[in-house]
Amino acid sequence: MKTIKMASLSLVLGLFVMLSAIVYAQDAAKLAPTVSQKVILDNEKVRVIAVEFEPGATTDWHSHPNHVVYALTDGKMEITVKGKPANVVDLKAGTAMYLPSVTHMAKNIGTATVKMVVTELKPAPAEKK
């Protein structure tokens, strides 16, 4: 009887360990909506970034210098500028907008993945004397 209890307990513990490993090994990106970014150009004048927001994806607080956003797809974003209430922006594919330097967070509140290109304008280096 004691052997059967030990075997049963070992089996239950083994299954628990296996299931824990499977849950732990899952890709976090598949568990939550993601924001992906790929820098496609970075030089002394500009940084160009391809950005994709899955539905529901949110960025952390971050900053941009003066920049241009070009929408590759339609979408609905909620933009929260530091110290201001959230603002909903309806993006239309093929449109561009200039935005001044900002600290903000963004969330895709639509049902489709939003794709855009962000071009950050870098300040001119100070002239050497």
d(C-alpha 107, C-alpha 89), whole Å: 10
Which sequence spans correspond to the domains of the chain? 1-31, 33-121
Tell me the β-bridge partners of 103: 63
- Range with lowest mean pLDDT among 20-24, 43-47, 48-52, 87-91: 20-24
pLDDT (tens digit per residue) in 54-108: 999 999 999 999 999 999 999 999 999 999 999 999 999 999 999 999 999 999 9
pTM for the model stands at: 0.73
Contacts of 67 (CB under 8 A, 6+ apart): 98, 99, 101, 118, 119, 120, 121
What is 33-121's CATH topology?
Jelly Rolls (2.60.120)
